[in-house]
Amino acid sequence: MALKRGLSSVGVQRSRSSGSRLRIVILFFFSIVTLLVFFVGQGLYISDEDSVQSGFGKQNVDWRERLASQSIKNLFTKEVIDVVSTSTADLGPLSLDSFRKSNLSTSWNFIGVESSVADKATSQSNQKATDLKQEMSQVKEGKLPNDDHSHDMLTNTLRRQLRDNRREKHVAGLVQKDDEATVKLENAAIERSKAVDSAVLGKYNMWRKEIDNENSDSTVRLMSDQIIVAKVYIIIASMKNKLDLRKELQIRLKESQHALGESTTDADLPHSASDKIKAMEKVLAKAREQLYDCKLMLGKLRAMLQASVEQVMSLKKDSMFLSQLAAKTVPNAIHCLSMRLTIEYYLLPPEKRKFPRSENLENPNLYHYALFSDNVLAASVVVNSTIMNAKDPSKHVFHLVTDKLNFGAMNMWFLLNPPGKATINVENVDEFKWLNSSYCPVLRQLETAAMKEYYFKADQPTNSGSSNLKYRNPKYLSMLNHLRFYLPLVYPKLDKILFLDDDIVVQKDLTGLWSVDLHGKVNGAVETCGESFHRFDKYLNFSNPHISQNFDPNACGWAYGMNMFDLKVWRKKDITGIYHKWQNMNEDRALWKLGTLPPGLITFYGLTHPLQKSWHVLGLGYNPNVDKKEIESAAVIHYNGNMKPWLELAMTKYRSYWTKYIKYDHPYLHSCKFSE
């Protein structure tokens, strides 16, 4: 009985033991499932929490980011900002610790104390990784106790592992991005270096601040202002009997003027300039305390301004007078050449004074040029440049007309220097017997007492000072300047002729001009009007009813210097008669000033055909900004203005286009001391 009871108790215990084991297995299984569900739920919660926190943080630091963005844009170029943005796009906010734990590029390496910190951080990271592995192995082997603490520890361990894995992934991406950014920046630097002009780099140091400083003359202007104020205070000190202060101001004024000198930029100033400025400021402050009177100060400054304006106007008039005087003068070398050639010409026997091929002078099938000049050297450049650029020089005929004084010199020069196979002839305007005062209004007007007084009475007062001085140039007294209105009379057997001034240079073959259809017009010329320049109202007096009722003030002007004239149409329309009519009406100079362009605009009004601008480029005698490409592509360049290429006041940048057609080793030029 006792034995049965023992056996039954043993069976019960075994059944209970097996039941408890089953419950433990079931409990362990549900624990594992619960942990997995908990882990997944925690992961989702963490991600949601991170997104919420990031959104909140973004709102808090939004203004800081904008401020930092503006500062970074001012410091770095767009390329650098794009590279940094690309490098950090996948990482979120960066921290210094994350960089210290990674093997980044050399630009992120730390030295000295920072390197030890980095090593320590690396060792700590490795230790954490070892601990994490041990904990994970314990979890797998089931050695950890089964309680709430173990659940939390397991969760934290897994969470830490995910964070470390994500950090390692981000750091690896950062290293790769940083390497790519370095290569990109290096390539960009190489491309930029190729575009840098080494000649410019040699002129200055790019790190000097004054190079980019627009106010590089600020100190110079400060000293100038101090000098002006000091002058005013000196006057006021004299008025108020402050002799000691006046003396001190005069001393500082001289020091500042001496230091300033002729400096135009701060770099030109001496090292003592700053001391002079401080000393002047002290005495000016003292003067302000004792002498400052707003009304009196304003009056003195106005007086000084008025005196400066009058001085500028006076200098401007003097400059204009000297410029016009220089334009009138004949250089000694040209005068010497003309005299020597004249002597040689009249020593020649009459049979040797004739030019060959005279039969071509009236052949209408050839290319004829009209050139009226009293300058031997200028005429030679026109002829030489035309022949040297002509395709067939034998078909070109030059008709030169000069005055009695230069007739021998002009003939002798071209007898000694014939223009190759081209034909040339020289005439004397004084031998045109039909050109007299009874027929020509200009000659008749030049003989009047009013015109003689205008030209030759030097002390006559004028309302405009020296503004009309240029109209007193001797060329306006010469009929060579007005002979252009009588071309059909000078060349009665020609149908077309190209008129050239003596201050031009031919750079291309001009035979194409004879093929231009003038559409029944008389004059083919290049127009010179811009948006508001060189229109009729610039040359004519539209307050006069004769002008205002017959012409458009906005009509476009054109240029003399290279003009193709159809002499057949000229004769039909009696262009010379139209010129005489208007010239007679302008005897009192009420319609226009003296010159040939205003009457030319009137005479050929509605009868001028515009040519392409590339045929004739103007302005080389007064405009320093003529486009070089336009000059080099032009068929004819014109030195209109006072700065003629044979004068010393010629613009150097344009002179070479003219001098290359002169042989400076010519015996006559050498003896008269011509120089390039």
- Tens digit of pLDDT for each residue in 630-641? 999 999 999 998
> What is the residue whose two structure tokens read 């106790």?
145
Q: Is the pTM of the predicted complex or chain greater than 0.75?
A: no
Residue 492 structure tokens: 């009665």
**Residue 264 and residue 333 in contact, taking contact as beta carbons nearer than 8 Å:** no
Q: Report CA 22 to chain centroid distance, whole Å.
A: 96
pLDDT per position as a tens digit, 99-122: 444 444 333 443 444 444 445 545
The answer to whether residue 127 is domain-embedded is no
CATH number at residue 658: 3.90.550.10
Cβ contacts of 33-40, under 8 Å, gap ≥ 24: 35/151, 35/154, 35/155, 38/151, 38/155, 39/155, 39/158
To the nearest 10°, report the CA torsion of 245, 251, 255, 258.
120
- Phi-psi group of 589: left, alpha or beta (phi > 0 → left; psi -120 to 50 → alpha; rest → beta): left
Measured CA to CA, the distance from residue 493 to residue 361 in angstroms comes to 9
Q: Mind giving me the DSSP string for 20-32?
A: HHHHHHHHHHHHH
Which of 92-106, 125-139, 613-627 is most confident? 613-627
Task: Report, in angstroms and rounded to the nearest whole number, the Rg of the chain calculated over CA atoms.
Answer: 48
DSSP 368: E
The answer to whether residue 174 is domain-embedded is no
Q: Which residue, among 53, 29, 46, 25, has the nearest Cα to 158 in the 3D structure?
A: 46
For residues 456-472, give the mean pLDDT: 51
The answer to whether residue 378 is domain-embedded is yes
At residue 42, what is the residue type?
Q
- Residue 472, pLDDT > 70, answer no
Residue 450 structure tokens: 């009013």
Three-state DSSP class for residue 151: helix
The answer to whether residue 498 is domain-embedded is yes
pLDDT per position as a tens digit, 25-76: 676 666 676 666 555 555 544 444 444 444 444 444 455 556 556 655 555 5
Q: Report CA 356 to chain centroid distance, whole Å.
A: 52
More confident residue, 213 or 400: 400
Tally the domains of the chain.
1
Number of neighbours of residue 24 by Cβ within 10 angstroms? 11
Measured CA to CA, the distance from residue 180 to residue 174 in angstroms comes to 10
DSSP 610: E
Q: Spell out the residues 6+ positions from residue 204 whose beta carbon is closer than 8 angstroms to its own.
A: 211
Residue 531 structure tokens: 């948006």
pLDDT at 498: 97
Domain extent at residue 543: 332-458+468-672
pLDDT per position as a tens digit, 487-498: 999 999 999 999
The answer to whether residue 132 is domain-embedded is no
pLDDT at 175: 67
First vs last C-alpha separation in the chain: 151
The answer to whether residue 505 is domain-embedded is yes
The answer to whether residue 153 is domain-embedded is no
Banded pLDDT at 93 (limits 50, 70, 90): very low
pLDDT at 676: 72
Residue 123 structure tokens: 């060792």
The answer to whether residue 253 is domain-embedded is no
Q: Mind giving me the DSSP string for 515-530?
A: G---TT-SEEE-B---
DSSP 339: H
Q: Mind giving me the DSSP string for 252-289?
A: HHHHHHHHHTT--SGGGS-TTHHHHHHHHHHHHHHHHH
Number of neighbours of residue 257 by Cβ within 10 angstroms? 14
pLDDT per position as a tens digit, 620-633: 998 999 999 999 99
